[in-house]
Amino acid sequence: MRSSVVLLEVIISLVLFSLLAFGTMEFLFSMRKGTYDTSFSLTNLLKLESTKMFLTHNNDLSKLQYTNGSLFYSGDLLLDKVSSFQRIDTIVFSAIDICIQDDRICQHWKIKR
C-alpha cells in the first residue's frame, strides 16, 4: 500500500512538472517571436525615417524614381521592398505617401521645396 502511494505521488509530480515545463517553453517562444516582430518593425521604421531625412537634406526630388517596388535616387537604390509610393508636388512642398513591407508600415511625408 505504501509503495502505491509513493508511485502515485511520483506520477502526479511528473504531470505537474510536464505542465510547468510546457507552459514555460510556450512563454519563452512567444517572447522570442514578440522580440523579433518588434525589432523588425523598428528596423523598418528607422529605414523610413532615414530615407525621409535624406530626402529632406538633399531637397531635390526630381532625382527620385519609383520602379519595380524600389525607390531610387539618382539611379542608386535608396529603399527596397516599397509596396506603394505616391508623390504629389505643389509649389510649397511635396507630399509623399509611402508604404513598405506589404503595406504593414506606412507614412505620409511633407517635404519643403
**Amino acid 35: pLDDT:** 83
> What residues of the chain score a pLDDT lower than 50?
none
DSSP character at residue 30: H
Nine cell digits for residue 1: 500500500
Residues 6+ apart with CB under 8 A from 22: none
**Amino acid 12: pLDDT:** 92
The range of the structural domain enclosing residue 57 comes to 2-112
| pLDDT tens-digit map of 25-41 | 999 888 888 888 888 88
Model confidence, pTM: 0.70
105-112 and 82-89: which strand pairing?
Answer: unpaired
Tally the domains of the chain.
Answer: 1
In order of 6, 9, 13, 21, 23, the CA distances from 16 in angstroms are 15, 11, 5, 9, 11
